[in-house]
Structure 1
Amino acid sequence: MDFSLKQGTFSTGLPYLAFGSGKPLVYLSGFTMTHTVPPPGPQRGRAARLVAPFVAGGYEVFWTNRRPGMAAGMTMGDVAAEHAEALRTRFAGPVPVLGHATGGSIALQLAVDHPEVVDRLVLASTAYALGPVGRHFHRDMVAAAGRGRSGMHRAAPGITRNPVLQRLLVAPLWLAGRLNPPPPDPSDMTAMLLAEDSFDVRDRLAEVTAPTLVLCGGRDHLWPPEMFDRTAAGIPGARLVRYPRRGHNILAAPEFVQDVRSFLDAP
């Protein structure tokens, strides 16, 4: 992948990696344990592969994380306000925003509270609020972080509904958590998890004015399917695309890339 890369910080402290050149596309990342950009090496390589199809389509993709040093008690509205000010300062007008998972929750809150900064909205693996499985997982991760552990083994119910497979997944997920423990200071991670835990814009979906595409995996059990349905139905003119055989991480799926590029490039 041969394209330009710049590392920077938006005016409100949000760190970003800017890949390529051309029309701006703001990508709000999914959950991360630290509010940093992927470091050089395998993590940055994965981010580059993720955005490469959009860079090839003529976009400068701003891979964006949350602000380091989040204050305890911040709400999703507070987080969205920081993003809105960052986009106003950096860009001359509204820009397309693609958010995945936690980033999708922020993107949706941003589009509800600050519609003037969002040109087109792509919501990947997210809904108007956390689903019950996702909510339990977040709370388990907060509790585990307080003990210096990751709590990743609690993710099994979000991967499969089969109780036997859930039990089989506990060990490899636990090992993955041991290999990728929470940072010594998990306050940013905890603040973001708790902000998303109280996130709920179901009654405000009609306030979204940007053209919107909602995408989800049919095997993403962090939310019940009807929550994705209600999210798309509540946003005026939104379209829902469900990939029956995909789980939570739909970003690298060829059909996802094709659907998102077609949506972003439409007149």
Structure 2
Amino acid sequence: MDIPITPGTFSTGLPYLAFGSGEPLVYLSGFTMTHGAPPPGPQRRRATALVAPFVAAGYQVFWTNRRPGMRVGTTMGEVATEHAEALRDRFAGPVPVLGHATGGSIALQLAVDHPGAVDRLVLASTAYALGPVGRRFHRELIAAAERGRSGMHKAAPAITRNPLLQRLIAVPLWLAGRMDRPEDPSDVKAMLLAEDAFDVRDRLAAVTAPTLLVCGGRDHMWPPEMFHETAAGIPGARLTCYPKRGHNLLAAPEFSTDVLAFLGSR
């Protein structure tokens, strides 16, 4: 499938790639080592593969990252406000928002603080706050970035509980991190610290958009109860769990099928 791709920047400085044409669907990316749109090459091909099912269904998918130049000390509330202003300036009304991992944290903060910006909400691999494994991973990523190194191999415990498998997958994770290593780690540090302080557990009832939360049974960034507590706290939210999937569940065929069914339901 040959998908037209249009790069752009929202009014508040958020970079995006617009894939295809049709009704808008805003996709807030998971964690990235740099605050920019995926460049041509492997990163863009991966992004294209993730959004392809939604483009085929008639959506124009706005793959969105955080604003470059984020200052350390920025709060998740400030990040959400940047997104709300960007969406209001770009679109005529509320739009469906799909957020994965870090993007899911932003999407949830957005829906809590600015409910009028979100038409339908899909939260993938995220919860009302970071889990303990996620917090530890963030601390290790920050320390590695400040030394100019890749810390992505520290994500292995979030992928598997098996010590042998952790050692086996650490090498490809480390290599992947080196390919995407930023020259200036300040954006990474700012976003990680903002997400570390993120916690909307007591405000979940403020979400007014119909919500689907999707998680993997093998995603160890959060204990399973945090996914259930998040869904239970959002009025009318649905929770879908794939027992054999992990953190990166967006490529799973059942994910796009379930999300499209949710987006099309009224």
C-alpha deviation, 1:172, in angstroms? 4.0
Aligned counterparts of 1:174 and 1:190: Cα–Cα separation in 2: 18
Q: Secondary structure in 1 aligned to 2:71? A: coil
The verdict on how the C-alpha distance between 1:181 and 1:6 changes in structure 2, with shifts beyond 3 A counting, is: closer
Q: Secondary structure in 2 aligned to 1:13? A: coil
Checking the alignment, whether the CA contact within 8 Å between 1:98 and 1:121 is kept in structure 2 is yes
1:188 maps to 187
Aligned counterparts of 1:181 and 1:108: Cα–Cα separation in 2: 26
1:93 maps to 93
Aligned counterparts of 1:165 and 1:50: Cα–Cα separation in 2: 25
| 1:58 counterpart = 2:58 | yes
Which portions of structure 1, spanning 4 or more consecutive aligned residues, are displaced by more than 6 angstroms?
none
Checking the alignment, whether the CA contact within 8 Å between 2:214 and 2:241 is kept in structure 1 is yes
1:107 partner letter: A
Aligned counterparts of 2:240 and 2:263: Cα–Cα separation in 1: 15
Aligned counterparts of 2:41 and 2:161: Cα–Cα separation in 1: 34
Which one is further off, 154-163 or 69-78? 154-163
The verdict on how the C-alpha distance between 1:167 and 1:46 changes in structure 2, with shifts beyond 3 A counting, is: closer
Q: Secondary structure in 2 aligned to 1:150? A: coil
Aligned counterparts of 1:181 and 1:262: Cα–Cα separation in 2: 34
- 1:1-267 map, 5 Å: 1-177=1-177, 179-180=178-179, 182-267=181-266
Checking the alignment, whether the CA contact within 8 Å between 1:148 and 1:181 is kept in structure 2 is no
Aligned counterparts of 2:233 and 2:23: Cα–Cα separation in 1: 29
The verdict on how the C-alpha distance between 1:10 and 1:144 changes in structure 2, with shifts beyond 3 A counting, is: same
How many residues align structurally? 266
Q: Secondary structure in 1 aligned to 2:249? A: coil
Which one is further off, 158-167 or 135-144? 158-167
2:246 partner letter: G
Q: TM-score, normalised by structure 1?
A: 0.97
Checking the alignment, whether the CA contact within 8 Å between 1:149 and 1:181 is kept in structure 2 is no
Cα RMSD, aligned residues only: 1.2
The verdict on how the C-alpha distance between 1:164 and 1:40 changes in structure 2, with shifts beyond 3 A counting, is: closer
Aligned counterparts of 2:84 and 2:176: Cα–Cα separation in 1: 35
The verdict on how the C-alpha distance between 1:82 and 1:244 changes in structure 2, with shifts beyond 3 A counting, is: same
- Segments of 5+ residues of structure 1 without an aligned counterpart are none
Aligned counterparts of 1:172 and 1:44: Cα–Cα separation in 2: 19
2:111 partner letter: A
Q: Secondary structure in 1 aligned to 2:255? A: helix
Q: TM-score, normalised by structure 2?
A: 0.97
Q: Secondary structure in 2 aligned to 1:251? A: helix
Aligned counterparts of 2:90 and 2:135: Cα–Cα separation in 1: 33
Aligned counterparts of 1:175 and 1:89: Cα–Cα separation in 2: 39
2:207 partner letter: V
Aligned counterparts of 1:205 and 1:123: Cα–Cα separation in 2: 13
Aligned counterparts of 1:201 and 1:57: Cα–Cα separation in 2: 32
Aligned counterparts of 1:65 and 1:173: Cα–Cα separation in 2: 21
C-alpha deviation, 1:6, in angstroms? 1.0
The verdict on how the C-alpha distance between 1:132 and 1:58 changes in structure 2, with shifts beyond 3 A counting, is: same
Aligned counterparts of 1:164 and 1:15: Cα–Cα separation in 2: 39
Matched-pair identity in %: 79
The verdict on how the C-alpha distance between 1:167 and 1:237 changes in structure 2, with shifts beyond 3 A counting, is: same
Aligned counterparts of 2:167 and 2:3: Cα–Cα separation in 1: 43
Aligned counterparts of 1:171 and 1:27: Cα–Cα separation in 2: 29
